[in-house]
Amino acid sequence: MWKWLHPYAKPERAFALCTTLLPWFGVSALLILATGTIWGLAFAPADYQQGDSFRIIYLHVPSAILSMGTYSAMAIAAFIGLVWQIRTAHMAVAAIAPVGAVLTFIALFTGAAWGKPMWGTWWVWDARLTSELILLFLYLGVIALYQSFEDKEQGSKASGVMALVGVVNLPIIHYSVEWWNTLHQGATITKFAKPSIDSSMLWPLLLCILGLALLTGAMCLYRLQNELLRRESHRPWVRAMLLEEEQNAV
Amino acid sequence: MTGRLAGVLRRELALAYRQKSELMQPIIFFVLVISLFPLGIGPGPQTLQKIGPGVIWVAALLSSLLGMERLFREDFNDGWLEQMMLSGLPLSLLVLAKVLAHWLTSVLPLLLISPLLALFLNLSEPMFWSLLLGLLLGTPLLSLVGATGVALTLGLQRGGVLLSLLLLPLFVPLLIFATSAVDAASMQLPYNGQLAIIGAMFLLALALTPMATAYALRISQS
């Protein structure tokens, strides 16, 4: 059943797949993200309580959602790499981690900028803020572990284990800080209940989430391509491809 | 197999006993860090009682990190670990034996010295008991998770600072529940709920981390 997937474990095929997918992800991300942000920042109605400063939600919520989604993507890649011994999946872990760390940082930064006018403070030791901060530390741990190995094969396996250890811990960390302290407003969009946000504000938000997800995907693909080239630079297929490009350029 | 595991345990204990000064260092560090706090914050008994549990726990986290490298480093360097992997002994059980030995030699002394620190920080008697129970359940968790971190950084020349970056975020839940148990005890409230959660986390770590550690050790040998 999974036979069609197996060829993509080969670095060469994975690279080709990235090349095919990248333009689709990139172009659709740009279009959707542009529509979503312009709609959200310029045309959506202002909040009755928070005024115009609520508009940062169009950056904050997508990056916060994706910071966690990216971590799960990384953990899944790590799991695949460790269980089925697929090198390409290990490379994906190394490619995804920095993207996720940047998303987490954006979520924290926009959150602080939103917190200043609303709560009157840049930072509070609230549950969601704390777990987001710890998520950033987990990302940094995975990245630092990968970077410190000379031997990237070994490094990517080790950082894969670290990503999995983190994923077991994340729910524990999340609930422990939740019981510890909570000031943050509850989730605005949930799957099960009617969202507590008007549809004129919701649609641009959903567009922003989708657009940023596509952009994240595009960046991960781009980084994976680089990773594949760097790690496989001694292989014939990389040389052949580069030669071909050179000839095309001439 | 039990005999061989007991042999490993005996070896670890004998090695630790013969390097007493190295064993003492984390304990001295622990006491020193804690005695710096009253100097930095002021000696008011009320303040000390309020920050006491957190200070003791943070100091315990840091000093257990300090001794953690010893867990596999030398065995890795002199090749003992490689021989053990070839010996056919299940690696995860070996890891458990080593973690147990490490806990007995490096962490148990911290628990024994904790009454003194409770005096330093003016903890009341119920607070002290909840602290001790929390430490008793929580420190094996530290050693188990720490072993995974050490095994992951084993292939590196210098893993020290990286180790703390990897491990400290994972210890956040433990810190939260352990200090909240002491807080509850200070208000004469029951604290067995917090202890039960720490116990649950300990059991989870006991089930999962030996496998992760064994896998990480295999990576370090590849």
Q: What is the average pLDDT score of chain B?
A: 87
In a domain, A101, yes or no: yes
Instruction: Report the number of distinct structural domains present in chain A.
Output: 1
Q: Do B212 and A161 touch (CB under 8 A)?
A: yes
Does residue A2 sit within a domain?
no
Task: Give pLDDT, residue A210.
Answer: 93
Q: Which residues of A touch B170 (CB under 8 A)?
A: 165-166, 169, 173
pLDDT computed for residue A189 by the predictor = 60
Instruction: Please give the average per-residue pLDDT across B146-158, as a whole number.
Output: 86
Which of A162, A175, A177, A178 to probe the B interface (max B CBs under 10 A)?
Answer: A162
pLDDT tens string A36-68: 888 888 877 777 777 777 788 888 889 988 998
3-state per-residue secondary structure call for A78-139: HHHHHHHCCHHHHHHHHHHHHHHHHHHHHHHHHHHHHHHHHHCCCCCCCHHHHHHHHHHHHH
Chain A residues close to B155, C-beta within 8 Å? 149, 151, 154, 158
Q: Which residue of B has its CA nearest to A148?
A: B156
pLDDT by residue (tens digit) across A182-212?
Answer: 555 556 565 555 556 777 778 888 899 999 9
Helix (H) or strand (E) holding A161: helix A152-180
pTM over 0.80: yes
Give start and end residues of each alpha helix (H) in A181-235: 199-231
Q: Which residues of B97-117 are buried (b: 16+ CB within 10 A; e: fewer)?
A: bbbbbbbebbbeebeeebeeb
Contact A35, A210 (CB under 8 A): no
For every residue of B24-62, DSSP letters joined together read HHHHHHHHHHHHHHHHHH---HHHHHHHHHHHHHHHHHH
- Asked whether the CA dihedral B145, A105, A180, A185 is positive or negative, the reply is negative
Q: Is residue A9 part of a domain?
A: no
pLDDT digits (tens, 9 = 90+) for A127-173: 778 888 989 999 999 999 998 888 888 888 899 999 998 888 888 87
* Residue of A132, A169, A177, A178 for testing the chain B interface, max B β-carbons within 10 Å: A169
Interface A–B counts its CB contacts (< 8 A) at 75
Which chain B residues touch A162 with a CB distance below 8 Å?
Answer: 152, 166
Running DSSP on this structure, what letter comes out for residue A233? T
Cβ-Cβ contacts under 8 Å, B219 against chain A: 154, 157-158, 161
CB pair distance less than 8 Å for B166 and A162: yes
Average pLDDT in the B167-194 region?
Answer: 87
What's the pLDDT score for residue B67?
A: 80
In this structure, is residue A3 part of a structural domain? no
**CATH code of the domain in which A117 resides:** 1.20.120
The shortest CB-CB distance from A149 to any of B145, B155, B204 is to B155
pLDDT at B143: 92
Position B186, amino acid: S
pLDDT confidence band for B122 (50 / 70 / 90): confident
How crowded is the C-beta side of B29, counted as CA atoms within 13 Å? 18
A181-185, A235-239, B194-198: the lowest-pLDDT one: A181-185
Kindly list the domain boundaries of chain B, sorted by start residue: 2-221
Residue A247 token pair? 């000839």
Residues of chain A neighbouring B217 (CB-CB closer than 8 A): none
- Using only C-alpha atoms, chain B has a radius of gyration, in whole angstroms, of 18
Max CA pair span of chain A: 64
Q: Kindly state the average pLDDT of the residues B23-28.
A: 84
